[in-house]
Amino acid sequence: MKTLLLSVTILFCTQLFAVKDIGISQIISPEEIFYVTEDASVVIRIVNYGDEDANDFNVFYQVEGGTPAGESLLTTLSAGDSIEFTFSATTDLSALGYYSICTWLSYAEDENLFNDTLCTVVNVIADIDVGVSAIIYPGDTVYTYELLVNANIEVVNYGYMTAVDIPVYYQVDGGLLITEFVEDTLEAGDTILFTFSTPYPFTEGLHEICCWTNMYSDLFNDNDSSCNFTYAIELPDIGVSAIVAPLSGTELTATETVTVEVTNYGWEDIDEFNIFYQVDGGTIFFDSYLGVEIEPGESTSLSLITVFDLSEPIDHYICAWTALADDTDLSNDSTCEWLYYSTFQDIGVSAILTPEVGSTLTDEEIVTVTVTHYGTADVTDFTAYYQVDGGVPITFTYMGDVISSSEAVDIEFAVPADMSGAGDHVICAWTFLVTDEVPSNDTTCSFYVFFTDPDVFDDGERTICEAEILDAGYPGATYLWSTGETTQTIIVTISGLYWVTLTDATGNTISDTLLVTVDVEPIADFTYMGIDSILYFENLSTSGAEYLWDFGDGITSTEEDPVHTYLALGTYTLTLIVSNTCGSASMTTIVIFIDDPSSTENIVKENINIYPNPASDEIEINLNGINDANGIIQFYSVHGDLLKEINIIDLREKITLKEFSLGMYYVVLQLENKLVFADKLLIIK
């Protein structure tokens, strides 16, 4: 009883004395893995472990046993509180390797020194991180006749160090590997478009294209590569690419024959089509072509049958176009040409020089324009006009030097433009010449923007597929995007937050932001379990929106996690194709063997073994317990392709593997056309 009372008394007395105790609980920065820098900050956490306030103490740190850096903290730290402290003196961690960093504090009244010091070891690494963020070309479909495709990719420096001589790789369907180097210097955070100089041969069908980087010091491999599925389609496409004769500006006769150039833009040979042609909007004539095959990419000149009288000294307009029943692109079928008489006059305002679009405007602005002579005959006088916002036209009469063909003159109007009205303004300027034969090019307009809506984008975030044009609107404003571009529109292919600042003619500015998310490429993957011939599939694919299962027995399914029953024993190739909302697809294939677990053949397979497994040059298959060796042994790839088949001669078969490359294969044994054994074989070299 006395002992117990004494213990309580001691505990009570201990609590009467206050403890002064501060220490360092954590080195916050630099972390254990740290990127190279010349001025790394050292950040620590200081804790008051005692019962009383602490003030006026010193803190120190030391790197690799060098000169300590110390500072005084003239602050009060209450009991139980902590503070995060950053040393004003930084340390040089620009060399790769391991650094020992120790920190400690000095407090005159500290009653516990054991928690005053803390050390850590920091591994300083180079932050090189370069990858292919997107395959720009080819896209989902290739329609051109080009059988050789030069891939165009987007390479991004995700790291904090400059990257040079970046190796990039280009491969289609796991075949020939093309290696080249991006020789340009890529600064941290920069993006560059790179086109492979070596083309890759394409055939019709679905192809998987993969491009990636592989820098020796790149420690981040997850973003190195990008893959696309491209479908190369062989399609017919023909059109009139040029009107070869007659030529504009020549003396035309009463018996002119029209000659056109026809180009095969598609992938198929074409030997039959119709050509239609028309002069000055008159009667439409047509000729039928039944000649030599025009190969993909080839052009040929054809002289048309009908002869035209073009001797009248006026301009003529000729159009010609092709007609093919299954032509897949009608936009390139036709071509039209003006045949200008040998001498004609044609002038127009080609530019408004002042006031400049995007400049700060005053209430009155001098208007200066450029007038260009597009014709062939000299011009000595004309009248020019300008108009603000559809108001009263201001006139200028030119009676100066002779303006010859292709020459231009700048003229300044004496009356300034009134720009004092509120809102946007439009200045249009034009010429008038009685003998001008092409009035369509007389007028030019400029827009001067004053912002009325503070929002540039209608939405705050947007999901895109491969690439999208962002349009800031307000033609005539000046622009500055977060990418550094200064155009009205930019093309975005990377997820991120984009902003743009617009400046109007008065110097006012507005800004807006848009969060862009690029739909991720899908990755096909699944697992399954089977009970007899019933298989239960679990879909492990990522970024998928639609699924197509082909079970290899003529049955398909679009369910996400299907259940399938095989009605016959045998070997089946199962394929899963996963597509996202943008149409990108990923495919995976496995081989499935369906047998009857209650059959006598499967009782036999317990006595069959393959040795060795893994193997390199040769294997031995022991067929123990089989009385009749009448059967075949088959070798399949993981994609279900039959690679080799041999007849069983002996119950202990030795089989060479020299024709097989490194990888996984399936070995199948059939007796009397029944599957009795299937197993995986790993071949190593």
Higher pLDDT, 17 or 135: 135
Check pLDDT > 50 for residue 88: yes
pLDDT(551) > 50: yes
| Main-chain phi, psi angles of 607, to 5 degrees | -95, 5
310: left (phi over 0), alpha (psi -120 to 50) or beta: alpha
Domains and CATH numbers, the chain: 2-125 (2.60.40.10), 130-232 (2.60.40.10), 238-339 (2.60.40.10), 347-448 (2.60.40.10), 461-518 (no CATH), 526-594 (2.60.40.10), 600-683 (2.60.40.1930)
3-state secondary structure of 416: coil
Beta bridge partners of 131: 156
pLDDT band at 72 (very low <50, low <70, confident <90, very high): very high
- Letter string b/e over residues 576-605, b meaning 16 or more CB atoms within 10 A of that residue's CB: bbbbbebbbbbbbbbbbebbeeeeebeebb
Which of 147-156, 314-323, 588-597 shows the lowest per-residue confidence on average (mean pLDDT)?
Answer: 588-597
Please give the pLDDT value at position 11.
35
- Per the structure block, which two tokens stand in for 220? 């981040």
pLDDT tier at 599, thresholds 50, 70, 90: very low
Provide the token pair at 126: 């180079």
Highest averaged pLDDT of the listed ranges 55-64, 203-212, 224-233 = 55-64
Query: Is a pLDDT exceeding 70 seen at residue 10?
Result: no
Mean pLDDT of 73-87: 93
CB atoms within 10 A of CB 107: 23
Give the helix/strand (H/E) hosting 427: strand 425-432
- Spatial distance between the Cα atoms of 591 and 445, rounded to a whole number of angstroms: 67
Is pLDDT above 50 for 270? yes
The predicted structure's pLDDT at residue 9 = 34
pLDDT at 115 (0 to 100) = 92
Residue entry with tokens 């003998």: 435
Classify the phi-psi angles of 143: left when phi > 0, otherwise alpha if psi is within -120 to 50, otherwise beta.
alpha
pLDDT at 110 over 60: yes
- Taking a C-beta distance cutoff of 8 angstroms, is the pair 547, 558 a contact? yes
Nearest-angstrom CA–CA distance, 324 and 487? 41
- Of the candidates 203, 202, 261, 234, the one whose C-alpha atom is nearest the C-alpha of residue 326 is 234
Q: Where are the alpha helices (DSSP H) in 525-655?
A: 600-604
Predicted pLDDT at 1: 34
Q: Can you give the pLDDT at residue 602?
A: 47
With a cut of 80, say whether residue 491 has pLDDT above it: yes
Tens digit of each residue's pLDDT (9 = 90 or more) over 292-349 = 788 888 899 999 999 998 877 778 899 999 988 888 778 888 999 888 766 678 999 9
pLDDT digits (tens, 9 = 90+) for 119-132: 999 988 767 889 99
**Predicted model pTM:** 0.30
CA angle (143, 145, 149) in 5-degree steps: 80
Is 277 exposed, middle or buried, given 0-12, 13-18 or 19+ CB atoms closer than 10 A?
Answer: buried
**Residue 257 bridge partners (DSSP):** 307
Q: What is the DSSP letter of 162?
A: -
Write down how long the chain is: 685
Residue found under tokens 């571009």: 485
pLDDT surpassing 80 at residue 261: yes
Pick the closest to residue 310 from 244, 246, 253 (CA basis): 253
Res 341: pLDDT:
64
Distance CA 562, CA 541 (A): 14
Which tens digits make up the pLDDT trace of 338-389? 887 666 789 999 999 999 887 777 889 999 999 999 887 889 999 999 999 9
Q: What's the whole-number mean pLDDT along residues 592-610?
A: 62
- The answer to whether residues 275 and 289 touch, using CB atoms and an 8 Å cutoff, is yes
Q: What is the mean pLDDT of residues 138-166?
A: 78
Please tell me the predicted confidence (pLDDT) of residue 129: 85
467, amino acid identity: A
According to the model, what pLDDT value does residue 541 have?
92
Q: In whole angstroms, what is the distance from residue 353 CA to residue 337 CA?
A: 31
CA distance 255 to 37: 81
What's the mean pLDDT when you consider all of the chain?
Answer: 85
